[in-house]
């Protein structure tokens, strides 16, 4: 039965993530559902989906989508559904370890669908089912107002419906008593009013069954133990990394015990043309986690200033290392590299040793920052610059210079040391023997300049390379997202056009001529009264580029 599968899918989506919640504190727990979800009203949901589809594929695809809905639902369309109210629901979990099929059968959910009338909703539900196997609403004997959803198809999932307070409460695997009017959780108590999301899934911490938390913790311990065994008894660096992972997981469990509510939201921002997955956690007042979030500072990137309003394209990345467990895991991985360096050729061993030592020092800092950007330069050319955090890179520079003494002549012809000095830092030049004409046309020069500073390693290409390295060396940390892929569609098209006129036209056709800095893809977080993490995709950039690529491949494919 297709309607049953659609409703059951809501439960399947929620179940893999229910383990994120934590057990109730000693002294009792709430009797409400631990998992609550809602979907935007049909009118808003369809309007947002149309906006997403229109942005990526155009009006023609929207018309095809609307036609498919009309073909499915017929002339009556959504008649039977109150399209102004959100769909909502909840899931109850048993307070026991889930070990077999019978245990999972104790999980049940209820989906509350706003209706215009009982008869109209029954008609709508029948329109969802195949014409040759329609759904019937069969009254349940001895349960006034309760219906069993039945059709010819055998289904192990029991489906029941009760109409109550303007909603059809559809029970998935629920017992008849659990759908009694007095046992239902009112839709009014479930809905988070004015929530902007298309879909919202909430986890209420104090309602989560303690036995399931114990099972999850045991499963993590068993998984780590098994991986250790497969890695040779958990001795050495692999065992250390696994222990760090287990410590991180346990820390998350501890944090969740101090969380009042957490959840996920799928959202669409029409003005920004962004689709985002938002994760949030609300701490319990006065908890250590609440204090931690209150002190949380906004993310910064040491090299954020390399990206300006004139930047055609850039990537900013920040790897937070403030978590002791995460930092410990990275440190153990670096230690593993130290032990493995002896397998490298003897000339490379000092370089690897200093590289790993520097990474070890860097990991102990608050964050590891990276940036790469292309900016306009002189005479219509562009300058590419890259920078990465590295604590005291002068040691790495020293061992590289030692290795240079014994390098072959062709390497010495390609690499020239100490060709300049910027802000007291030596600059070295790499001149590729086979320069690319397109790169030369774009940057004006294919020489690459490299510098090893007290706080990072820097590289630049172009006739303005030295100015770019200076900008990176002197840059101050500035607010930035954890990950930010930055694009200015107009400037990117202009840049592509300097190399190939047709390429510039193609970029303009795909991305448009917006002269504005856009985050094509980003991950950001913030603290305060709650933790919020947002992963966003701009529909005007990557999805459009992918659609155009697919269309070009389809057009170029030979006919069969």
| pLDDT digits 0-9 by tens, 460-469 | 999 999 999 9
Beta pairing partners, 315 = 372, 485
Q: How far apart (Å, rounded) are the C-alpha atoms in residues 150 and 134?
A: 8
Chain centroid offset of residue 411 CA:
42
Q: Which long-range contacts (CB under 8 A, 24 or more apart) does 490-494 make?
A: 490/514, 490/515, 490/516, 491/310, 491/311, 491/312, 491/376, 491/515, 492/312, 492/313, 494/312
φ/ψ bin of 96: left (φ > 0), alpha (ψ from -120 to 50), beta (otherwise): beta
Place of tokens 């250590």: 288
Q: Kindly tell me if the per-residue pLDDT of 29 is higher than 50.
A: no
Strand, coil or helix: what is 230? helix
User: What global pTM score does this model have?
Assistant: 0.84
- 439: part of which helix (H) or strand (E)? helix 437-443
CA–CA gap between residue 121 and residue 115 (Å, rounded): 6
Q: Give the helix ranges, DSSP H, for 276-389.
A: 288-295, 324-340, 349-363
**What is the token pair recorded at 529?**
């009264």
Contact between 232 and 242 under an 8 Å Cβ cutoff? The reply is no
- The total number of residues written for the chain in this structure: 560
| CA pair distance 284, 280, nearest whole angstrom | 13
What value does the mean pLDDT of the chain take?
85
- H or E element that contains 252: helix 237-257
Residue-wise pLDDT for 282-305, tens only, equals: 999 999 889 988 888 778 899 999
- Dump pLDDT digits (tens) for 205-260: 889 888 887 887 787 777 777 776 766 555 455 666 666 666 666 667 777 788 99
Contacts of 464-470 spanning 24+ positions with Cβ under 8 A: 464/377, 464/378, 464/381, 464/383, 465/383, 465/385, 466/420, 466/422, 466/427, 467/383, 468/306, 468/375, 468/383, 468/384, 468/385, 469/385, 469/422, 469/427, 470/422, 470/423
Express each pLDDT in 340-380 by its tens digit: 677 778 888 889 889 988 988 888 876 789 999 999 998 89
Of the two residues 432 and 230, the one the predictor is more confident about is 432
List phi, psi (to 5°) of 346. Answer: -50, -40
Are the CB atoms for 503 and 497 separated by under 8 Å?
Answer: yes
Helix pair 394-405, 349-363: axis angle to 10 deg: 170
């Amino acid at each position: 039965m297709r309607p049953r599968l659609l409703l059951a899918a809501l439960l399947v989506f929620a179940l893999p993530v229910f383990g994120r919640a934590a057990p109730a504190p000693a002294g009792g727990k709430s009797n409400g559902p631990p998992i609550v979800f809602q979907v935007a009203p049909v009118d808003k949901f369809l309007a947002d989906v149309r906006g997403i589809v229109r942005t990526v594929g155009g009006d023609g695809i929207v018309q095809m989508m609307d036609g498919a809905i009309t073909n499915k639902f017929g002339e009556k369309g959504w008649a039977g559904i109150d399209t102004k109210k959100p769909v909502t629901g909840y899931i109850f979990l048993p307070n026991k370890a889930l070990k077999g099929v019978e245990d999972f059968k104790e999980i049940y959910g209820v989906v509350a669908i706003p209706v215009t009338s009982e008869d109209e909703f029954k008609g709508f539900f029948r329109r969802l089912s195949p014409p040759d196997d329609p759904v019937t609403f069969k009254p349940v004997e001895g349960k006034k107002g309760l219906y069993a959803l039945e059709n010819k198809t055998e289904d192990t999932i029991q489906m029941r419906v009760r109409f109550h307070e303007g909603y059809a409460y559809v029970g998935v695997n629920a017992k008849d008593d659990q759908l009694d009017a007095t046992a239902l959780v009112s839709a009014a108590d479930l809905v988070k009013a004015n929530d902007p999301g298309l879909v919202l899934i909430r986890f209420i911490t104090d309602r989560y069954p303690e036995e399931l938390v114990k099972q999850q913790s045991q499963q993590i311990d068993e998984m780590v133990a098994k991986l250790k065994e497969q890695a040779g008894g958990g001795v050495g660096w692999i065992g250390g990394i696994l222990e760090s992972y287990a410590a991180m997981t346990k820390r998350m469990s501890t944090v969740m015990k101090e969380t009042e509510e957490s959840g996920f939201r799928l959202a669409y921002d029409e003005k920004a043309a962004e689709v985002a997955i938002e994760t949030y956690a609300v701490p319990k007042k006065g908890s250590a986690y609440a204090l931690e979030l209150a002190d949380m500072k906004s993310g910064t990137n040491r090299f954020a200033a390399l990206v300006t309003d004139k930047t055609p394209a850039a990537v900013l990345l920040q790897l937070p290392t403030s978590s002791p467990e995460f930092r410990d895991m990275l440190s153990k991985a670096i230690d593993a590299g130290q032990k493995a360096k002896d397998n490298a050729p003897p000339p490379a061993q000092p370089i690897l040793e200093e590289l790993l030592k520097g990474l070890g020092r860097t990991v102990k800092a608050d964050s590891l920052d990276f940036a790469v950007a292309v900016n306009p330069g002189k005479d219509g050319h562009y300058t590419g610059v890259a920078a990465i955090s590295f604590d005291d890179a002068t040691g790495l520079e020293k061992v590289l210079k030692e290795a240079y003494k014994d390098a072959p002549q062709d390497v010495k012809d390609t690499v020239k040391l100490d060709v300049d000095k910027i802000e007291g830092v030596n600059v070295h030049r790499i001149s590729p023997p086979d320069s690319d004409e397109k790169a030369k046309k774009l940057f004006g020069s294919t020489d690459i300049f490299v510098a090893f500073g007290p706080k990072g390693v820097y590289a630049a290409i172009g006739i303005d390379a030295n100015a770019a390295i200076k900008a990176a060396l002197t840059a101050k940390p500035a607010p930035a997202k954890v990950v930010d892929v930055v694009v200015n569609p107009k400037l990117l098209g202009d840049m592509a056009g300097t190399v190939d006129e047709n390429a510039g036209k193609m970029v303009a056709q795909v991305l448009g001529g917006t002269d504005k800095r856009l985050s094509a893809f980003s991950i950001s977080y913030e603290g305060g009264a709650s933790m919020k993490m947002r992963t966003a995709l701009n529909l005007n950039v990557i999805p459009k580029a992918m659609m155009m690529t697919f269309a070009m491949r389809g057009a170029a494919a030979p006919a069969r």
